[in-house]
Amino acid sequence: MRQLQHVDIAVIGAGPAGLAAAAAARSAGAAVIIIERDDRAGGILNQCIHDGFGLQRFDCALTGGEYAHIDELACRDAGVELLTDTYVSSIERTESGFALHTMTTGLISVITAAAVILAMGCRERTAGAISLPGTRPAGIYTAGTAQRLTNMQNIMTGSRFLIIGSGDIGLIMARRVTLEGGSVAAVTEIQPYPGGLDRNIRQCLTDFSIPLYLETGIVEILGTDRVTGALIAPVGRDGLLDTTRSTHIPCDTILLSVGLIPENELTRSLDAVMDPVTGGPAVDEHLMTSVPGLFACGNVLQVHDVVDLVSQEAAHAGTCAAAYLRGERAEKRKTITLQAGEGIRYVLPQSMSAQGSTLLSCRVRKPMEDVTIQIRSGSELIYRQQLPYVQPSEMIQIPLDLSETAADTSVEVHCVRT
Amino acid sequence: MNYFGLFRAIVCVYDTSMKHVDVIIIGAGIIGCAAARELSRYQISVAVLEKEYDTGFGTSSRNSGVVHSGIHYRSGTLRAIHAVRGNHMMQQLCEQLQVPFKPTGKLTVAFDRSQCEELKVLKAQGEANGVPGLEIIDVERMQRLQPGISGIQALYSPSTAIISPYELTIACAESAHHNGVEFHFGHTVSAIDRAEDGFIVHDAEGLCPIHAAIVINAAGLYADSIAQMAGIQGITIYPCKGEYYVLDKRLGDQLDVLIYPVPGHHSSGLGIHLTQTVDGNILIGPSTAYSDSKEHTGTTSEILRALRAAGHTLLPTLSEGDFIRTFAGLRPKLNPPEVGGFGDFILEDHDRFILLAGIESPGLTAAPSLALEIVALVRSHLSLVEKQHWSGTLPARERFLELPLDRQQQLVEQDPDHGSIVCRCEGITKAEVLQAVDRIIGPVTYTGIKLRCRSMMGRCQGGFCIPRIAQLLEEERGITMDQQQLKGPGSPMYHRHLRPEESTS
């Protein structure tokens, strides 16, 4: 039989974002259901058996599983309903909100909700997405897939590894496979600076004497049946790889840690306005997308560095979604658009109501020393902060109060040398 | 030699009666499989020998999947004859085998006056070849068929279509197998001896030699070395690589009709273009570059860069995140690099050794027609009596997420596994993955599963479903982690269990 169920708020995804959003929405009085496609809550945290989670939020270093467990318990205690092994196959708008078509073993059903919080997280960029040249033998995995196989399925993917890209998951996996008796020939990074956090470079590479080759790319993957190696080369003056200086790295496994892409296929199907830079939907200060009643938080909105900030953002989305249902959100006032200016890659939220306040997130384009973050409305400087060092891998968050700013203006965020 | 091969070799020593079949087909690509299916109608024994561990792992799965109309080939050539007849046969064959077939039509676009003259020549040639419905159309008609298209005139060929080339190959093999054809995978032919009443075919793996009355050389890139084994000199196959990008399905609805440039006179390909696939992706490619290797299907950064540039020109809304995979295929060319262009197909009967060589484009289109021609040649040596019970159709293979709700409901009630999603990008259910596993004739491989159900073919390229498939194979089909291969023995997916004492296998 097809089941029909109605809730106030449906949260898609039970990773850290979904759990925090659901708990916050529930404590604000809404009836909440979380729909999770995996067999348990926690999302990607379940495969993160290393510690370092919760340093900001709990002032202690938890494992991913421990961190997720705290939020899962909070959801259970608050009375949030959790559906696991359930996949949202499509979503559509209805007169009273949304209808979510879901599938689980032995059952397809429809859940209707007045509001939806998107918390689907992100997926990893693949060999195809970075146009990795060469053959496609066995032994090429994204770092997160290898992490799941290693930490949840008892499978060592290889013995000698080359890690392409210096994203955090790749760094964590470099240490992980080394601890399990594998060896890591090198980590290569096409940019002149690492993609992951400084602490992960130190704790996962330096401490284990694993070389990191910056401004180095892949000329060719070698091997027909299983990976046998790769040719790597430095970036030359013309920006292309200098193949005259290529080096052969023997290895049997390639792990890719070359970026994350917010998983927004459902969002696009609702025609929400997207931000081409973040890869997520454009939102206002309530983290509501251009579709009324559709909220987004966590890595589906913007890829975060640390889970603590995901939880913080998601709790805000949950609170705002509950307020939206109570009709507390004032009628749409004239808006202010927020834009990335000099040295800034993106700004979130992309718009705000006039007189509103928000916690603004942004990232810089490249590493810089001694900079000033300036927020300007036309010629008026409304915020400035000096920072000794900024880099793209570390998100900058700024509490922003626009109570003095007129409607229909544009606010720009800049990062300039002090 | 793998253990299985060793076992077979030992058995062979004690087996005094050599195995005999009426027909051996060398190569389980589209030509070999289409021929096997046609031959399976008759009361003869047929064995297909394939060096890979599945059907269509070579050129047959590495092409644009276009069913060509037949306008490009000089009248009277085998390419012209078999492309036109094959095109005519294809839709019905696909219906019988439940292979997706999409009649798209094609526009060959002229950008200047001289190319408009070329269009007239192509139209006349196509009409002489028997291609139906050809029309030279103006910009207004072009815009109606494909909004936003550039060019000043086009030749419209309505009989051009697209299919899934690997699904057709797999389905032909499956149909042949259901009707009694044997498939021997991992079987590399190493020598062919002429015997009094046929041939003795030896293999490199040390399996049993097989005696056959007739041998069909459908070895594709290796047609030259197989011909040489049978004493036929003078055939050389030059591999010519074509690289492709696969684009995200997000862009799939932007193309309504196939669009090709007017080909250059000495070009060895039909030019870089966009081709939609039956599954809703778009392909950019193929490039054209002669290669030294018949095995190396790797892509190269220079050509990928050129393809990306072409893609951005042809599809202005393309973004970097839309490239989901690259692949390359090798054309089995008869013309050496210094000559270029296209040679005609070779289809010859050398006293019971049936030679097919140079079956490059439009080989996929021509396959059903070439299969009939092969049967005619076999008939000249063997009496072919039809089987009483031959079934040329395969059961419907439904894609769960594309079905209407009431049918989904029905399937979930029949088998709860239909409700469980394994591949999130393509929306493939556990039931569909297991059906694919069970359809495989040879060893179960990840590539075999992928080509049969599209799991691992989506935008995350298996990041989500590979760990789930690993678990499914172990728990549902008893294939332990250490036995799981990408494309056959020698391509292990995983290294070892991390904690052997905790493993279930």
Minimum Cα–Cα distance from A105: chain B residue: B419
Token duo for residue A229: 């190696």
Compute and round to an integer the Cα radius of gyration of chain A. Answer: 22
Token duo for residue A356: 């509103």
Fold agreement (A126-258, A332-418):
no
* CB–CB contact A137 B486 (8 Å): yes
Q: If you average pLDDT over each of A331-335, B89-93, B256-260, B405-409, which comes out highest?
A: B89-93
Burial A264-275 (b: 16+ CB within 10 A, else e): bbbbeebebebb
Of the partner residues B321, B405, B471, the one whose CB lies closest to the CB of residue A261: B321
Q: Is the peptide bond before B362 cis (omega within 30 degrees of 0)?
A: yes
Question: Do A11 and A319 form a contact (C-beta atoms < 8 A)?
Answer: no
Residues of A in contact with B467 (CB under 8 A): 145, 148-149, 152-153
Residues of A in contact with B401 (CB under 8 A): 89
Question: Do A290 and A273 form a contact (C-beta atoms < 8 A)?
Answer: yes
Size of interface A-B (CB pairs under 8 A): 155
Note the pLDDT tens digit of each residue in A359-373: 999 999 999 999 999
How many Å apart are CA A407 and CA B121, to the nearest integer? Answer: 64
Read off the DSSP letter of residue A207.
Answer: G
DSSP states along B80-137 = HHHHHHHHHHHHHHHHHHT--EEE--EEEEE-SHHHHHHHHHHHHHHHHHT-TT-EEE
Residues of A in contact with B301 (CB under 8 A): 131, 133, 219, 240-241
Question: What percent of chain B is modeled with pLDDT above 90?
Answer: 84
Residues in chain A: 418
Higher pLDDT, B46 or B18: B46
- pLDDT band at residue B3 using 50, 70 and 90 as cut-offs: very low
Read off the DSSP letter of residue A167.
Answer: -
* CB–CB contact A128 B324 (8 Å): yes
Question: Do B94 and B256 form a contact (C-beta atoms < 8 A)?
Answer: no
Domain limits, chain A = 1-123+260-329, 126-258, 332-418
Min Cα–Cα distance to chain B from A208, Å: 20
pLDDT at A333 over 80: no
Note the pLDDT tens digit of each residue in B415-440: 999 999 999 999 999 999 999 999 99
B247 touches chain A (CB under 8 A): no
A403, burial (CB in 10 Å: exposed 0-12, middle 13-18, buried 19+): exposed
pLDDT score recorded for residue B8: 45
The overall longest dimension of chain B from CA atoms, in Å, is 74
* Residue A273 vs residues A264, A269, A399, B82, B342: alpha-carbon distances, Å: 11, 11, 24, 50, 49
* CB–CB contact B300 A261 (8 Å): no
Phi, psi dihedral angles at B197 (to 5 degrees): -115, 40
pLDDT score recorded for residue B424: 92
Of the partner residues A128, A138, A152, the one whose CB lies closest to the CB of residue B461: A128
Of the partner residues A85, A129, A149, the one whose CB lies closest to the CB of residue B467: A149
How many Å apart are CA A253 and CA A161, to the nearest integer? Answer: 5
Higher pLDDT, A4 or A257: A257
- pLDDT band at residue A329 using 50, 70 and 90 as cut-offs: low
Residues of A in contact with B296 (CB under 8 A): 135, 224
Helices vs. strands in chain A: H and E counts, helices first: 7, 28
How many Å apart are CA B116 and CA A384, to the nearest integer? Answer: 63
Question: Beta-carbon neighbour count of residue A203 at 10 Å?
Answer: 16
Note the pLDDT tens digit of each residue in A189-200: 999 999 999 999
Token duo for residue B378: 């076999």
Domain limits, chain B = 1-101+160-236+334-396, 102-159+238-332, 400-496
Token duo for residue B430: 């556990």
Minimum Cα–Cα distance from A104: chain B residue: B419
Alpha-helix runs per DSSP H in A159-296: 168-179, 198-200, 265-269
Note the pLDDT tens digit of each residue in A147-160: 999 999 999 999 99
Strand bridging mode A3-12 / A32-35: parallel
* CB–CB contact B323 A131 (8 Å): yes
Token duo for residue A190: 């096409």
Minimum Cα–Cα distance from A266: chain B residue: B425
Amino acid at A163: I
* CB–CB contact A154 B497 (8 Å): yes
Interface test with A, best of B54, B485, B495 (most A CBs within 10 A): B495
Assign domain A1-123+260-329 to its CATH superfamily. Answer: FAD/NAD(P)-binding domain (3.50.50.60)
Phi, psi dihedral angles at A118 (to 5 degrees): -85, 125
Higher pLDDT, A357 or B61: B61
**Top-level CATH class of B102-159+238-332?**
alpha beta
Phi, psi dihedral angles at B91 (to 5 degrees): -60, -45
pLDDT at B505 over 70: no
For residues A295-304, average pLDDT = 98
Token duo for residue B405: 């709700």
How many Å apart are CA A152 and CA A51, to the nearest integer? Answer: 16
pLDDT score recorded for residue B255: 84
CA atoms within 13 A on the CB side of B414: 9
Residues B1-101+160-236+334-396, CATH architecture: 3-Layer(bba) Sandwich (3.50)
Question: Do B340 and B266 form a contact (C-beta atoms < 8 A)?
Answer: yes
Residues 100-129 of A with CB under 8 A from B: 103-108, 123-124, 126-129
- Reference B72, options B26, B133, B119, B20; nearest CA is B119
- pLDDT band at residue A353 using 50, 70 and 90 as cut-offs: confident
* 3-state percent helix, strand, coil for chain B, nearest multiple of 5: 35, 25, 40
Task: Of A226-230, A376-380, B378-382, give the lowest mean pLDDT range.
Answer: A376-380
Note the pLDDT tens digit of each residue in B314-351: 787 888 888 999 999 999 999 999 998 899 999 999 99
Question: Beta-carbon neighbour count of residue B147 at 10 Å?
Answer: 9
A148 touches chain B (CB under 8 A): yes
Residues of B that are catalytic = 68
Q: Tokens 């046609």 map to which residue?
A: B38
Phi, psi dihedral angles at A128 (to 5 degrees): -65, -40
Q: What is the mean pLDDT of chain B?
A: 93
Minimum Cα–Cα distance from A255: chain B residue: B463
How many Å apart are CA B429 and CA B436, to the nearest integer? Answer: 11
Phi, psi dihedral angles at A78 (to 5 degrees): -80, -15
Min Cα–Cα distance to chain B from A127, Å: 7
Residues of B in contact with A138 (CB under 8 A): 446, 485-487, 491-493
CA B314 to chain centroid, in Å, comes to 26
DSSP states along A272-325 = --B-TTTSSB---TT-B-SSTTEEE-GGGTS--SSHHHHHHHHHHHHHHHHHHH
Minimum Cα–Cα distance from A179: chain B residue: B498
* Residue B39 vs residues A278, B56, B241: alpha-carbon distances, Å: 57, 18, 31
pLDDT score recorded for residue B10: 46
Question: Beta-carbon neighbour count of residue B338 at 10 Å?
Answer: 6
Minimum Cα–Cα distance from B409: chain A residue: A108
For residues B450-478, average pLDDT = 96
Strand bridging mode B182-185 / B46-50: parallel
* CB–CB contact A89 B427 (8 Å): yes
Question: Do A138 and A164 form a contact (C-beta atoms < 8 A)?
Answer: no
Q: Tokens 């998983």 map to which residue?
A: A263
How many Å apart are CA A80 and CA A27, to the nearest integer? Answer: 9
Is residue B461 helix, strand or coil?
Answer: coil
Q: What is the ipTM of this complex?
A: 0.94
Residues near B316 by Cβ (< 8 Å), separated by ≥ 6?
Answer: none
Residues of A in contact with B471 (CB under 8 A): 153
Residues of A in contact with B300 (CB under 8 A): 133, 220
* CB–CB contact A154 B498 (8 Å): yes
A126-258 maps to CATH 3.50.50.60: yes
- pLDDT band at residue B269 using 50, 70 and 90 as cut-offs: low
Question: Do B91 and B166 form a contact (C-beta atoms < 8 A)?
Answer: no
Min Cα–Cα distance to chain B from A92, Å: 15
B325 touches chain A (CB under 8 A): yes
* Residue B138 vs residues B162, B260, B273, B431: alpha-carbon distances, Å: 24, 16, 20, 49
How many Å apart are CA B36 and CA B24, to the nearest integer? Answer: 9
Min Cα–Cα distance to chain B from A103, Å: 5
How many Å apart are CA B147 and CA B150, to the nearest integer? Answer: 9
- Reference A83, options A63, A65, A110; nearest CA is A110
Q: Tokens 């918390």 map to which residue?
A: A119
Residues near B167 by Cβ (< 8 Å), separated by ≥ 6?
Answer: B99, B100, B451, B452
Residues A332-418, CATH architecture: Sandwich (2.60)
